[in-house]
Amino acid sequence: MPEETDVTVLGLGNMGSALARAFLDHGQSVTVWNRSEARTAALTKAGAKAAKSSSSAVAASPLTVACVLDYPATNSILAEAQTAAALRGRTLVQLATGNAKEARELSAWAQTHGVDYLDGGIMGFPPDIGKADTEILYAGAPTVFDTHAATLKSLAGAQRHVGHDPGNVSTVYLAIWVFYYGAQGAFLEGAALAASAGMPILEYLALTAPMFARLSEGNRVAAQRLAEGRLDGAEVSVDLMLAGADSVMDAFESVGISHEIVKGYFALLARARDAGLGAKDLASIFEVLAPAVRPSSRMSAPGQNR
């Protein structure tokens, strides 16, 4: 079957549909496929071509983007002999959530079947797709990324290639989301405490705006000092931050509000203190979390914005 479109999207959940629409919005011709055909209707009205099978879908384009539930779901599609055969000589981009082991296994499968492969991690939600400041991380052969970078940029203006090893992108992707989870959890934990004092949540949101800026700068300083190996406590020390721990805990406990996020943070500081790092910077937490890992100012394989 001759190639008919620029890109194929497998999986039309909320994220997959957003990916297909972004390609269409940026002038790409798109083939779509989903196990439930009802999902294709809105996209075909927008100009996409609906494939009847996964094999005909991947055969329609030189580039296929898979965004189904997870790696096992992707693997189940690729297990179909006709689909695997149709992918030979083409490129597969996997954008499902998974771990490094799954990414490396799928990359090995692709190599065995003559398929070029990129593993990706989307740093955002469906409404973020197609925006100039949205970031998607990719890993795999740089030449494969370069070949398709212009097409993939329709999805995220701030896309970044983070190295050859496809397992790296899963690890980095999850690491960045861990920051988001913790920050949002702490925000809501604080909102609950403020609400106990009668503060409306939107007022609390407004008051936290300067703290977001302070957090960003604090992270920059911590990362810089870790990269340079300077943890002399010149900023804020572990001991100094721990001095206020009891007041924070008492504030939550006095009104019966759980506080797992902040409790965990102070527990990490206590581990750093007990390891003899009390006079060091707050960034010393890294030393007790990953004592065998040396932070660096750059990745072993330099990332690229395209």
pLDDT, mean over the chain? 93
Token pair belonging to 146: 């370069």
What pLDDT sits at residue 293?
A: 82
Q: Is residue 302 predicted with pLDDT exceeding 50? A: no
CA distance 155 to 93: 12
Strand partners, 97: 70
- pLDDT band of residue 223 (cuts 50, 70, 90) is very high
pLDDT tens digits, one per residue of 49-58 = 999 999 999 9
Return the SS3 of 297.
coil
- Note the pLDDT of residue 49: 97
Q: pLDDT band at residue 303, thresholds of 50, 70 and 90?
A: very low
User: What pLDDT, on the 0 to 100 scale, is given for residue 296?
Assistant: 67
> What's the pLDDT at 261?
97
Give the pLDDT of residue 297.
Answer: 54
pLDDT at 300 over 60: no
Evaluate if residue 301 carries a pLDDT over 50: no
Do the two domains 7-164 and 200-289 of this chain adopt the same fold? Answer: no
Of 287, 150, 149, 306, which Cα lies nearest the Cα of 231? 287
**Mean pLDDT, to the nearest integer, of 276-297?**
87
- What lies within 8 Å, CB to CB, of 165 at 6+ separation is 104, 139, 301
CATH homologous superfamily for the domain 200-289 = N-(1-d-carboxylethyl)-l-norvaline Dehydrogenase; domain 2 (1.10.1040.10)
> Hey, where are the domains in the chain?
7-164, 200-289
User: Which amino acid is residue 217, in one-letter code?
Assistant: E
Work out the percent of the chain whose per-residue pLDDT is above 70: 96
Domain at 7-164, CATH class: alpha beta
The pTM of this model reads 0.84
Q: What is the pLDDT of residues 239-267, one digit of tens each?
A: 999 999 999 999 999 999 999 999 999 99
